[in-house]
Structure 1
């Protein structure tokens, strides 16, 4: 085998390695994008979970304060939701009034 043949083989192998490297880099970039997307999705779900846990805590507290189960009163979850929102609005209004008095 001549030096020219050996050099040609080295060049071919180098070319294949460069192509493989480019393909792996492209795959790596795609995996990074997918990873970022999954992280955002997970973060969004964690926020939603926290919101739902807080809502459940408030509803449980409201029910325990009422001392009567909502089904006994004929109240639906939607009615409780509306009551909770009204209560939140009243609190916000009270805060605004306090700020206006200062």
Structure 2
């Protein structure tokens, strides 16, 4: 009798363990879905932030090109920024030309 009771307890514990495993797996799936949703939300926010930063940058450049910098430092900063932007464009054009030639 003791052996049958021992086996029954092990069987009960096994069923309980399997039930907990299923619960943990279901929770894991739910958490993965929530993580995916949060990552998508974060990516959308990052895109929005990048677009707004770009608009702000363009607005600053537009104000600076109107010839009304608030100080000589702003004018020099604008020139450096414009040089860097032009150099970036030239590098990108050179890469495109290299790709077309290859």
Q: What SS does structure 1 have at the residue aligned with 2:23?
A: helix
Q: Which runs of 4+ in 1 moved over 4 A?
A: none
State the distance in 1 between where 2:2 and 2:48 align.
Answer: 69
Query: Equivalent residues in 2 for 1:62-101 (5 A)?
Result: 62-68=62-68
User: TM-score with structure 1 length normalisation?
Assistant: 0.64
Gaps spanning 5+ residues in structure 1: where? 70-102
Q: What SS does structure 2 have at the residue aligned with 1:17?
A: helix
- Residue 68 of structure 1 and its aligned partner are, at CA, apart by 3.9
Gaps spanning 5+ residues in structure 2: where? 70-102
- Residue 67 of structure 1 and its aligned partner are, at CA, apart by 2.6
User: TM-score with structure 2 length normalisation?
Assistant: 0.64
Q: Tell me the matched-pair count.
A: 69
Query: Equivalent residues in 2 for 1:21-100 (5 A)?
Result: 21-68=21-68
Q: What SS does structure 2 have at the residue aligned with 1:67?
A: coil
State the superposition RMSD in angstroms.
1.3
State the distance in 2 between where 1:5 and 1:63 align.
Answer: 85
